[in-house]
Amino acid sequence: MTDSKQPDPTVSTDPAVAVNGQCEQADSQHQHQQQQQQQQPSAESQGEAFKMDHEMKITDSIEDGGLLESSMRLKPHEAQSYRKKALWVSWVSIVITIILAITAFTVSIMRHSASAFGFAFDAMLDVLSSAIVLWRYSNAAAVHSAHREYIACVILGVIFILSSLCILGKAIHDLATKLLPEVDDFLFSVSIVSGLVCIIMAVIKFMLGKVLTSRALITDGFNSLVGGIMGFSILISAEVFKHEPKVWYLDGTIGVLIGLIILAYGVKLLLDMVPRIRQTRNYERFE
């Protein structure tokens, strides 16, 4: 007797069924790969977010401990080198802005220009802010001191507010009395020179402030930038008045706007820095 093997009913020998099974398996593998590819970017983005959050926490903990972020970025000799550059820039800024302030006050009196008066007052403010930066970096051991940095910023905030009130008062008075500015070549030359010099000084201060993570240096640079804008505003308002006498109020209006900008910046400085002084007063380590 010969045993005849019966085909297993569970195993299909149909070619179409086999092909469909392979296709389904391939589709499932493809979907699995797509899910992995979708999950990979999300994992990378989560990793980047965690890294940024971790760096922010480190920065906050450093400043709460009485040091600026520059203490992690710069080596000791690099920090001292940038500190000396900040001192040199501050001295140069003081000398230049004193000359510009005297010239601008003269122009303001002779030509009845509210913008020139505002620029002259802002130049004196620049002298004071540069002097504060000198104090800020006068101590080599305190180059990374957060407490000293915040004290300098609070003093700058108070000076900004007082100066803005004077600029606003003069500009509003000129608008109320309809004071007309006089135009000549001397006014043009002063505005161009002062505007260019102040903007160049502002760029240098911004660069040093970014490297040293110094809000005081950046604030000093902002003040120089405002001085540059006001220098060019003298030129613009005088030129407009020369061709359109009806727009006599442009000079005083620019003075009001500049005063409001300085006032807002000063208030923001005080709101940001006064609480930080209280947080870091126990960590003051400089002499």
Q: Which of 204, 197, 238 is nearest to 221 (CA)?
A: 204
The whole-number average pLDDT for the span 200-229 is 89
Q: Distance between CA 218 and CA 209 in Å, rounded?
A: 5
pLDDT at 37 over 60: no
pLDDT at 7 over 70: no
How do residues 232-266 score in pLDDT, each as one tens digit?
A: 887 788 778 888 888 888 888 888 998 899 899 99
Give residue 45's pLDDT: 46
Give residue 271's pLDDT: 92
Phi and psi torsions of 183, nearest 5° = -120, 130
pLDDT at 86 over 80: yes
| Cβ atoms within 10 Å, residue 239 | 15
The whole-number average pLDDT for the span 108-124 is 72
How do residues 44-75 score in pLDDT, each as one tens digit?
A: 445 444 444 444 343 444 444 566 777 677 78
The whole-number average pLDDT for the span 25-34 is 53
Give residue 104's pLDDT: 76
Q: Which residues pair with 145 in a beta bridge?
A: 67
Q: Distance between CA 193 and CA 232 in Å, rounded?
A: 9
Q: Which residues pair with 67 in a beta bridge?
A: 145
pLDDT at 189 over 50: yes
How do residues 272-286 score in pLDDT, each as one tens digit?
A: 888 888 776 655 544
Q: Distance between CA 278 and CA 287 in Å, rounded?
A: 19
Q: Which two tokens mark 279?
A: 């947080």
The mean pLDDT of the chain is 75
The whole-number average pLDDT for the span 140-152 is 83
% pLDDT > 70, the chain: 67
pLDDT at 17 over 80: no
The whole-number average pLDDT for the span 227-233 is 81
Q: In which residue are the tokens 């002259």 written? A: 120
Question: Which is more confidently placed, 138 or 182?
Answer: 138
Question: Which is more confidently placed, 112 or 227?
Answer: 227
Give residue 282's pLDDT: 59
Q: Interior CA angle at 217 toward 215 and 223, to 5°?
A: 100
The whole-number average pLDDT for the span 170-194 is 77
Q: Residue 245 burial by CB count (10 A; 0-12/13-18/19+): exposed, middle or buried?
A: exposed
